[in-house]
């Protein structure tokens, strides 16, 4: 009888100790910097802006990762891995609290040992540069980068970019990737809308975008000035941002047979 009581007492004591240890481990995890930073991983996030690279948008993208020193990968495929663009990327990042990387596609298997997917899935954010959207998408498809980016998106890695680097994430839009004039292009469709970058800085962009939406050739979508941006969470708009009041983002659709252009209220970021 005494032995049985002693065993019961020991078991109860062990259970209490185990519970206390579990609580202690949970408290350590919750209070650690990594715990709070990873809570965004359930979200699928894309940040797009209408023009080229700039430091303020890179800083904003870094903040979206919620990490102290995020790994951010620049993809210059649309500019054919242009060396000046890559140098510019490192110049913009040099005094930011980020770890900058570059994903080059003009490579050799002798010198590049990691796959494109391995590189991308190890990042906290991806920034796609401007250039020829059509060529970029063709190369991505040939190299499986489009599929790797989809995995990154589902994993919660921040996707972003401007110009070709914004257009690529949408269903469709207009591009200067072919000779002669702006033409239509089908893209990755991570965001189920049409898109127009350089909305007011290039005169032919806005009227053609309106024409395509009004005719039904394009679905409704978002147009963005060079120094404005839109943050999407899980495929839906979360907020619009801008570097100044002169640059804006717009939702463009058809209402009662006419074009409706709605200017989005923007948060000015510094």
Give the closest residue to 143 by CA, choosing from 191, 75, 61: 75
The crossing angle, in degrees rounded to 10, of helices 55-65 and 83-93 is: 70
End-to-end CA gap in the chain? 74
Pairing of strands 249-255, 258-263: antiparallel
Q: What is the b/e burial string over 83-111, where b = at least 16 CB atoms within 10 angstroms of the residue's CB? A: eebbebbeebbeebebebbbbebeeeeee
3-state secondary structure at position 100 = strand
Pairing of strands 170-175, 183-186: antiparallel
State the Cα–Cα distance between residues 236 and 162, nearest whole angstrom: 18
| Cα–Cα distances in angstroms (integers) from residue 263 to residues 200, 205, 246, in the given order | 13, 16, 12
- Backbone phi and psi for residue 194, each to the nearest 5 degrees, phi listed first: -85, 170
Q: Is there a catalytic annotation at residue 198? A: yes
Q: Is there a catalytic annotation at residue 36? A: no
**Given 163, 177, 194, 242, the catalytic residue:** 163
DSSP designation for 77: G
Tokens representing residue 84 in the block: 């000046």
Helix (H) / strand (E) containing 101:
strand 99-102
**Given 198, 210, 242, 266, the catalytic residue:** 198
Number of H helices, E strands in the chain: 9, 14
Q: For the chain, how many residues are written? A: 270
Catalytic residues: 163, 198
């Amino acid at each position: 009888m005494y032995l049985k009581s002693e065993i019961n007492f020991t078991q109860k004591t062990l259970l209490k100790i185990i519970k206390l240890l579990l609580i202690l481990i949970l408290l350590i995890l919750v209070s650690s910097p990594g715990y709070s930073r990873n809570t965004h991983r359930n979200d699928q996030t894309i940040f797009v802006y209408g023009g080229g690279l700039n430091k303020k948008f890179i800083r904003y993208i870094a903040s979206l990762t919620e990490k102290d020193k995020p790994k951010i990968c620049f993809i210059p495929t649309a500019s054919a891995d242009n060396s000046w663009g890559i140098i510019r990327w490192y110049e913009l990042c040099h005094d930011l609290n980020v770890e900058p990387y570059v994903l080059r596609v003009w490579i050799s298997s002798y010198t590049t040992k990691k796959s494109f997917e391995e590189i991308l899935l190890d990042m906290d954010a991806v920034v796609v540069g401007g250039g020829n959207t059509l060529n970029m998408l063709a190369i991505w498809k040939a190299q499986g980068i489009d599929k790797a980016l989809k995995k990154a998106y589902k994993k919660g890695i921040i996707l972003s970019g401007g110009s070709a680097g914004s257009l690529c994430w949408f269903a469709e839009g207009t591009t200067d990737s072919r000779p002669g004039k702006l033409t239509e292009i089908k893209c990755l469709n991570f965001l189920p809308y049409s898109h127009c970058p350089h909305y007011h800085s290039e005169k032919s962009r806005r009227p053609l975008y309106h024409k395509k939406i009004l005719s039904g050739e394009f679905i409704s979508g978002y147009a963005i000035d060079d120094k404005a941006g839109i943050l999407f969470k899980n495929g839906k708009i979360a907020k619009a941002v801008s570097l100044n009041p002169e640059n804006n983002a717009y939702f463009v659709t058809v209402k009662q047979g006419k074009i409706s252009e709605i200017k989005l209220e923007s948060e000015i970021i510094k």
